[in-house]
Structure 1
Amino acid sequence: MQVAVWDTYVTKKDGTIMHFDIIVPAEITDATIIYDYGRDYLKSKNQEGQPLTAHECQFCHVEQVRTEWQNEIKEKGVFIYEMENCK
């Protein structure tokens, strides 16, 4: 399975920057769907209401799905790869 990686940087309520990737099946190209996944993730981190638009989230590349992402993508349609300040 090919997946699309959307590189995302969101300013948290405390002013720090969260960096995470939104990873979806490559067939999903509608940015609105991607942003909705990102907003759901932000809500789960108590960061709801923070801006998430083309300014914060951009398509990066397509790659082969990694084993550790596959089940979550099949179940939820998305995998969020946390990189910086996501806790």
Structure 2
Amino acid sequence: MKIHVYDTHVLTAQGQHIHFDVLVNDEHIERVQEFAEQYLAKLKVPATEIKQHRCNFCHSEVASPNVQQQIAEQGHSIIRL
């Protein structure tokens, strides 16, 4: 399965830098921002605390079996960097 990697950087109002990748297939490209926001919510970072946010396409690659399974189950995979 070919997937697309979106390099995501968030700076909170308190100065915390959060860096992660959002991995999706062709079917879910339009939902990358939504998946990033869901992940931040799981980290308990509310939108009001985000000072800067960047989520840019980085590259495409062949997904590992684990990432393929996550995308099949939830539409995306997140890798915390």
Map of 1:57-76 to 2, 5 A cutoff? 57-76=55-74
- Flag as ranges the 4+ runs of structure 1 deviating above 4 A: none
CA-atom RMSD in angstroms: 1.7
The alpha carbon displacement at 1:67 in A equals: 1.9
TM-score norm. by structure 1 comes to 0.80
Distance change (3 Å), C-alpha of 1:52 and 1:29: farther
AA matched with 1:15: G
Separation (CA, whole Å) in 2 of partners of 1:21 and 1:62: 12
Task: Provide the residue aligned with 1:6 in structure 2.
Answer: 6
Three-state SS of the structure 2 residue aligned to 1:28 is helix
Provide the aligned length of Structure 1 versus Structure 2: 79
| Distance (whole Å) between structure 2 residues aligned to residue 35 and residue 52 of structure 1 | 14
* Partner in structure 2 of residue 81 of structure 1: 79
Structure 2 length-normalised TM: 0.86
Question: How far apart in 1 are the matches of 2:25 and 2:44?
Answer: 26
Q: Distance in 1 between matches of 2:59 and 2:65?
A: 18
In the TM superposition, what is the alpha-carbon distance from 1:62 to its structure 2 partner? 0.5
Larger strand fraction of residues: 2
Structure 1 unpaired stretches of 5+: none
Structure 2 segments unaligned to the other structure (5+ residues): none
Instruction: Measure the CA separation in 1 of the matches of 2:38 and 2:66.
Output: 21
Query: Which residue of 2 is the match for residue 37 of structure 1?
Result: 35
Q: What fraction of aligned residue pairs are identical, expressed as a percent?
A: 29
Matched-pair contact (CA < 8 Å) for 2:11–2:52? no
